[in-house]
Every structure is written in structure tokens, then in C-alpha cells.
Amino acid sequence: MFGLFRPNPIKNLEKQIARKRADSVNVQRSGDLRAYASMVAEIEALEDELIAIRNRPAD
């Protein structure tokens, strides 16, 4: 589906989600719950986008 020079959006989103999850753990441990809540909201939005891409019919 994805050629040699076309990036895979699923892998990119998975990497971005993993990075934000790791960052959110550190923010939560620091005690900044407002920042943690906003990061969790961002992660949820990225996960929704990932689900939408995976549910799209193949070309």
C-alpha cells in the first residue's frame, strides 16, 4: 500500500502517541495535573485519528 518513498501515516501516529504517553507520565509525576489532562486529550485525539485511518478502506 505504501511505496518506498511514501511515509506510513499509521507508524508515524503510533510513534507520536508513544512519545506523548511517555511525556505525559513525566508531567503527571511532576504534579501538573492540568498539563497532564491536556496531554491526555491530545493523545485521545491522535488515537481517534489512528482508528479512523485504520478503518478507512484500502485504495
What the block records as the C-alpha cell of 19 is: 512519545
**Which residues are within 8 A (CB) of 24 and not within 5 positions of it... i.e. 6 or more apart?**
36, 39, 40, 43
Sequence letter at residue 11: K
pLDDT for residue 2: 56
pLDDT for residue 44: 98
Q: What is the DSSP letter of 58?
A: P
**Higher per-residue confidence, 45 vs 56:** 45
Domain residue ranges in the chain: 9-55
Q: Is pLDDT of 29 > 80?
A: yes
Give 1-26 pLDDT, tens digit per residue: 556 777 888 999 999 999 999 999 99
Residue 53 contacts residue 13 (beta carbons within 8 Å)? yes
Give 33-42 pLDDT, tens digit per residue: 999 999 999 9
pLDDT for residue 6: 76
